[in-house]
Every structure is written in structure tokens, then in C-alpha cells.
Chain A
Amino acid sequence: MPPKSAQEKARSPVESLWKAYNEDTPDRLKFVDSFLLFLMLSGIIQFMYCVLVINYPFNAFLAGFASTVGQFVLTASLRSQVNPVNQGEFKDVSPERAFADFALGSIVLHFFVYNFLG
């Protein structure tokens, strides 16, 4: 194994992870990841509001929180199925099939969420 340079040693694991992610991840997946990040932050803030301030329009909270969580799950599964690295895992699922599932699931989720919105 070649000795690592001093510069490389100084780099923290987090930093190297970030670099690897930036370099190796296709733009399409980054696009999905940014949406996931958005959903996560949005859900966390709604939950904080409910816990710290008031849960008053509770149905609205349920609708908002459930939409972020549900959309996160659907998007995460879409991401894992279209990821080229996982192609071995999902041999029978084409990316198009995954997107169709995602669209159908999202529409059903949105229908339920709007029902809760009141």
C-alpha cells in the first residue's frame, strides 16, 4: 500500500466523504438528493413547530408532516431503484418502471394529504 501524503492524512473522513459524493454522484441523483434534503428539513421544521409552539390546526400539521415523510419515502425508493450502482439489486425494475411507481404513489399520497388538509 503506498504511503499516504500528509495532506491526505489531514483530511477528515467527513470531508473525504463529501468529496467522493460530489465527484462520483451523477447530477440526476444529486437532483433527487437535494429534493430529499428539502423534504427532510421541511418535515423537521414542521415537527418542531408542532412540539415547541402549538399543534393547533392539527389536521394541517398531520397533512404537512405526512406529505413530507411520505414523499421522502417514495423519493428515497425511487433514488435507490434508479441508482446505476444498485442495478444488480433491481434487475427486474427498469428506471422507467420505478418512475411510474413513484408517480402513482405520489398521486395517491397527495390525494390523502389533501383530504387531511381540511
Chain B
Amino acid sequence: MHVFVASLLLLVASVHAKILTLQSPRFVVLDSQGQQSRSEPISLTQKSRNPVFLNATDTLKVTFQVVDKESGEGTQPHQTFLRFYDATTDEEGIQPIRVTQGGKAKLELNMARPPLSLPPTGDVPLQVMLYIGQPNFSPIAVELFDLHVPHSQPPPAHPDEASFHLLPEIHHIFRPDQKLPYKLVSAVFSGLVIAPWFLLVGLWSQVSPRLTHLFSPNVLPFILSLGAYEFLVFYYWVDLKLGQVLLCGGVLAIINLFTGKHALSSIAKRRLNKD
């Protein structure tokens, strides 16, 4: 839609705009001796069928005069450019053309000293286009001819060019699965680890002191709160979050503090009385 409106506006503007034309446009190819090897008029309506070949020592000369079509007077346009474009590499070069106040323009392209505006060239010819712009005149944009010039050095790579490529795909490498020991070995060591428990129970049954006061009301709460602590820590492993454990542990700590103080001081009192 936007494109349509824009082109419509352009059409309206160009209907009202005055028209520029070129008088005696011409290009000449000169060799190193200054001899003309080719000389042709330029057509504004049709691109030249034969491409232009330039050797390393040749010179291309383009001349024309810009005139107002109505009055026939020469005018100096605001913008006058030649554009060299390589469609395969998308490289282009813009060469401004100096135009006199009378509208006369002359461009010399000496291949012995090629201008900086010429893009890097290869086997493919450059498309040469002429652009002329002037306020209140409809612009000129014509394709002149294809231009073969000697090969240039390949364009230098941009320093950051290497950063703009796909990186190799990331392959994650995982550690191989853990090998489990044989079931027999596992069973033997399970037995070995459990064995000290039997030893412990056996020894304790021999030397266990008599727990005379374990269930006295002074001591029992302390034992129970210690047991609650152990259960809390165990249950932390099974199901609880750290915050819950710290909260419950804090509450239990206060209980434990009082029960422990009471129980231990009662035991100490008994011990001192005995002494």
C-alpha cells in the first residue's frame, strides 16, 4: 500500500517536474598511445549491447552536456554520478562527475591509475550506471554499458569478518554412566558395614551401665527433645526444606536449652550429694 502511494506521488511529481536531457553523450576508449580504439554515442533509452573492454593501460572517457529539455539551455545538476556495480559480489563504487556551470561534463577513467571508487573486480563485468539529480527536474537513472576491467586484488577481509560466521555446533559430552560393582561385592561390603553394629550391640549388652534415671521426669524431656532433634534432621533428609528445618530447629533449640539445663543440673545435684 505504502509503495503504491509513494509511486503515485512520484508519478504526480514527475508529471509536473521539468525534464533534463543529455546532449551529445559519448564514450571513447583510448589506448596508452592516445589512439581511439572505440568511440560510441550513449543512448539514454537503451543499454549498449557490446560491453566495453579496458586494458590495464587504456583510458575511458565519458562526455556529455546536461540541458533543460524545454529551453535547451545547459544546466549544472546538483548531483551527477557514475555507479559501478558488481552484481555477483554486491560491491559498488560511486564516482562523482564534475559538471561545469554550462552543463558540460567530462570523466576520464585511466586504468593505469584506477580511481578508488572502482570496486574490486573479477571475471564478471561491472554494470555502469549514470545518475543525475536536480531539484524541480525529474531525475535521470540510466544503465549505460557493461564494463570489463582487469582483475583487481581480492577485496581485503574486514577484521571482524571472522566473527560473522556460524560457529561449529556445540556437542555436549557427558561422562559415561557410572559402572556399578558386582552384586556379590556390594553384598559383601554391605555385610561388612553392618557387622560393626552387631559388635556394638554385643559389647553394649555386656557393659551397659544401669539406666536408673532415664525415665525420671527430670531427665526424660531432655532425652525426648534430643530424639526430636535427631528425627528432625532425619526428616530433613527425607522431605523438608532448609528453611523449615532451621525454623523447627530454632524452636526445638529453645525447648532443648531449658530441658537440658534442668536435666543436667538435677543430675549434677545428685552427683554432688553422692560425693
The interface-forming segment of A1-9, A10-18, A29-37, A71-79 is: A29-37
B15 contacts which chain A residues (CB < 8 A)? none
The interface-forming segment of B16-24, B65-73, B199-207 is: B199-207
Q: Can you list 8 pairs linking A and B with CB atoms under 8 Å apart? A: A30-B203, A31-B207, A34-B199, A41-B195, A54-B179, A96-B268, A100-B264, A114-B236
Inter-chain CA distance A32–B219, complex, in Å, is 20
Interface of B toward A, CB cutoff 8 Å: 178-181, 185, 189, 192-193, 195-197, 199-200, 203-204, 206-209, 226, 229-230, 233-234, 236-237, 245, 249, 260, 264-265, 267-268, 271
Q: Which of A48, A56, A100, A117 interacts with B260 by CB under 8 Å?
A: A100
Within the complex, what minimum Cβ distance (angstroms) separates A16 from chain B? 20
Whether A45 touches B192, Cβ cut-off 8 Å, given contacts A95-B271, A96-B264, A96-B265, is yes
B237 contacts which chain A residues (CB < 8 A)? 114, 117
Tell me if A53 and B181 are in contact (CB < 8 A): yes
Q: Which residue of B lies closest to A30 (CB)?
A: B207
Q: Which residue of B lies closest to A64 (CB)?
A: B193
B265 contacts which chain A residues (CB < 8 A)? 96
Tell me if A31 and B208 are in contact (CB < 8 A): yes
Mask of A98-118 contacts with B, CB within 8 angstroms, 1/0: 011001000100110010010
Question: Is chain B's interface secondary structure helix, strand, loop, or mixed overall?
Answer: helix
Inter-chain CA distance A45–B190, complex, in Å, is 10
Inter-chain CA distance A94–B245, complex, in Å, is 31
Question: Is chain A's interface secondary structure helix, strand, loop, or mixed overall?
Answer: helix
Number of A-B contacts (CB under 8 A): 80
Within the complex, what minimum Cβ distance (angstroms) separates A76 from chain B? 16
A19 located at the interface, meaning its Cβ lies under 8 Å from any Cβ of chain B in the complex: no
What is the interface size of chain A, counting residues whose CB is below 8 A from a CB of the partner?
A: 29
Tell me if A49 and B199 are in contact (CB < 8 A): no
Tell me if B199 and A37 are in contact (CB < 8 A): yes
Q: Which of B233, B245, B249, B260 interacts with A103 by CB under 8 Å?
A: B260
Tell me if B185 and A114 are in contact (CB < 8 A): no
Within the complex, what minimum Cβ distance (angstroms) separates B87 from chain A? 64
A46 contacts which chain B residues (CB < 8 A)? 193
Whether A35 touches B229, Cβ cut-off 8 Å, given contacts A27-B208, A42-B193, A114-B234, is no
A91 located at the interface, meaning its Cβ lies under 8 Å from any Cβ of chain B in the complex: no
Within the complex, what minimum Cβ distance (angstroms) separates A21 from chain B? 12
Inter-chain CA distance A54–B189, complex, in Å, is 11
Mask of A53-83 contacts with B, CB within 8 angstroms, 1/0: 1101000000000000000000000000000
A99 contacts which chain B residues (CB < 8 A)? 264
A95 contacts which chain B residues (CB < 8 A)? 268, 271
A27 contacts which chain B residues (CB < 8 A)? 207-209
A38 located at the interface, meaning its Cβ lies under 8 Å from any Cβ of chain B in the complex: yes
Inter-chain CA distance A10–B91, complex, in Å, is 108
B208 contacts which chain A residues (CB < 8 A)? 27, 31
A107 contacts which chain B residues (CB < 8 A)? 226, 229-230, 233
B200 contacts which chain A residues (CB < 8 A)? 34-35, 37-38
Within the complex, what minimum Cβ distance (angstroms) separates A112 from chain B? 10
Question: Which of B180, B193, B207, B265 has the largest count of A CB atoms less than 10 A from its CB?
Answer: B207
Within the complex, what minimum Cβ distance (angstroms) separates B196 from chain A? 4
Question: Which of A35, A103, A117 has the largest count of B CB atoms less than 10 A from its CB?
Answer: A103
Whether A110 touches B196, Cβ cut-off 8 Å, given contacts A27-B209, A31-B208, A53-B185, is no
